[in-house]
Structure 1
Amino acid sequence: MSATHTFLERVTVTIDGHVAHVLLDRAGKMNALDDAMFEAIIATGHYLHNARGVRCVVLSGAGRSFCAGLDLSGMADAGRLNEGDDLIDRTHGNANRPQQAAMVWRKLAMPVIAAIHGVCFGGGLQVASGADIRFVAPDARLAVMEVKWGLVPDMAGYALWRGNVRDDVLRELTYTHREFTGNEAVALGFATHVSADPLADAMKLAQEIAGKSPTALRSAKLLSNRTPDMDVDQVLMAESKAQHELLFSKNQIEAVRAGMEKRDPEFVDP
């Protein structure tokens, strides 16, 4: 049983079983980020937040690229530059609107996997970085592009790259906006796996993840999100509290029974 939803003619979501495939669907513009794309990405994330039964999300781009970054045609109108003042406003919890387009994937309760091919520049790289796991084509072209246009990465990149990308490497790539390949992206910390077919591999992993206890997955993601900012004592307590909530819960008991009986588990979605 599958269902498809479209948001502002920019993003298409197909839910099949327990996996949601989110497609940035502006292929003619290499899925560049304009106002409608920002709104559509955020609306998609909020929709998935409330979508019962979705246990894993795959994020990809239509056409020949994942996302070319900011649609610069929107900056041709100098009068719009004053809109930058709005960036200070926290319109989405701890984030402004552009930041939420990347952070919404990290804030989702379920794991998110990005499949990167073609071009993945600037804001596109930051959107992909919001995912938990990233598959990237070996010949993909990536870049921290913002300084080229007199800007800085400001779509949560610094928060999302922290712990993955070495500080001196990030500084060099930001200052120079040098392009790097998918192969390099894994070595540099921007991606998880190199893949000849990122979308197929992302979907395969998503199906595997979707077969796990959804409550355990959500708890594990929450721990992964929270613990980097905690001290050791706080981490230990967070682990204990999460485990206390899971032990002897319906899904935890089902996971054990299914494993012992060598059958597929039948989990209840939160």
Structure 2
Amino acid sequence: MNDNERVSVQVDGDGVARVTLVRIDKSNALDGPMFDALIAAGERLRADRTVRAVVLAGEGKGFCAGIDMQVLADMKDGSIAGTRDLVERTHGLCNRFQYAAWIWRELPVPVIAAVHGFALGGGLELALGADFRYATPDARMSIMEVNWGLVPDMGGTVRFYDLMRDDVVRELAFTGRTFEAVEAQGYGLVTRVVADPKALALNTAREIASKSPEAVRAMKRLLGAQSATAAAPGLLAECVEQQKLLGTPNQVETVRASREKRIAVFND
């Protein structure tokens, strides 16, 4: 593994693929190369007919801390992580950032996210790209984009409404508060709360891999078809709103205040 590697991919002999975020020194935070590495991993596995199921996990202290704060600090002229036009559909229904999470829904085989430590902001949206999620009881989660003066823009607004009540989505999104996996399970964000989510995810993946691959792939297609068409307008809408916010004075002030550990001063 070299210093620039963000994601490792291992395919076991039983057809179970392990996709692991390995940017440990940055809590697996999302930067431009991480988005690209996630997409590349998904595309590699989509083309591999030997793969029967996928486990998506993170090394180190947690699953994924969300957007790299340096990415926000480096924003210039409304561009972020090397992308200027968020509205352009570069990957089917999605832009580059959305596809890093959405590609797992488009994979022809089931994907299980194993969450420990934290899944914050974009990290939570990434986990929601999986078919289901196992998490440790103390895993912390947050729809935290409001804390950076932004909105969820990795398909989160679509997935939140797939899984949660309207009032719960609003309370969590407007406040950006942190909650743990037991609470998240009650909201529908987490499938099972267990002490060792990676071990359970691997066991479940192996069970799935033992089933007829044609039947499993057919079920993934059927279930995916129920949501893809309805998702398209929502995926586009969140990018339109994000494009309006990026680089605005209040959004920049939000990030600056956070880095300087002070209360933000906004202009009406």
Matched, 1:11 2:10: no
Specify which structure has the bigger relative contact order, considering alpha-carbon pairs within 8 angstroms and separated by 6 or more residues.
Answer: 2
Give the conservation status (yes or no) of the 8 Å contact 2:161–2:169.
Answer: no
- Inter-CA distance 6–210: structure 2 relative to 1 (3 Å threshold): farther
Q: Spell out the pairing of 1:101-180 with structure 2 (5 A cutoff).
A: 101-180=100-179
- Inter-CA distance 169–22: structure 2 relative to 1 (3 Å threshold): same
- Tell me the distance in 2 between the aligned counterparts of 1:7 and 1:203: 27
- Tell me the distance in 1 between the aligned counterparts of 2:17 and 2:2: 13
The one of 52, 57, 62 aligned to 1:60: 57
Counterpart of 2:38, as a letter, is I
What is the Cα-based RMSD across aligned positions, in Å?
A: 1.9
Give the conservation status (yes or no) of the 8 Å contact 1:7–1:44.
Answer: no
- Tell me the distance in 2 between the aligned counterparts of 1:42 and 1:73: 21
Gap regions ≥5 residues in structure 1: 232-270
- Inter-CA distance 22–36: structure 2 relative to 1 (3 Å threshold): same
Matched residue, 2:93: 94
Matched residue, 1:25: 22
- Tell me the distance in 2 between the aligned counterparts of 1:230 and 1:75: 31
Matched residue, 2:31: 34
Give the conservation status (yes or no) of the 8 Å contact 1:113–1:202.
Answer: yes
Largest Rg, 1 or 2:
1
Cα shift at 1:7 = 11
Matched residue, 1:70: 67
Matched residue, 2:195: 196
Over the matched positions of the two proteins, sequence identity in percent amounts to 50
- Inter-CA distance 229–101: structure 2 relative to 1 (3 Å threshold): closer
- Inter-CA distance 228–41: structure 2 relative to 1 (3 Å threshold): closer
Give the conservation status (yes or no) of the 8 Å contact 2:134–2:193.
Answer: yes
Counterpart of 2:86, as a letter, is L
Counterpart of 1:217, as a letter, is V
Counterpart secondary structure, 2:76: helix
- Inter-CA distance 229–22: structure 2 relative to 1 (3 Å threshold): closer
- Tell me the distance in 2 between the aligned counterparts of 1:158 and 1:212: 33
**Can you list the C-alpha shifts for 1:165-220, whole angstroms capped at 9, x where unaligned?**
11110111000011110111110111100010010010010000100011111111
Counterpart secondary structure, 1:135: strand
TM-score using structure 2 length: 0.81
Q: Spell out the pairing of 1:192-231 with structure 2 (5 A cutoff).
A: 192-228=191-227
Counterpart secondary structure, 1:103: helix
- Tell me the distance in 1 between the aligned counterparts of 2:3 and 2:108: 21
Moved over 4 A (4+): 5-8, 228-231
Gap regions ≥5 residues in structure 2: 231-268
- Inter-CA distance 8–223: structure 2 relative to 1 (3 Å threshold): farther
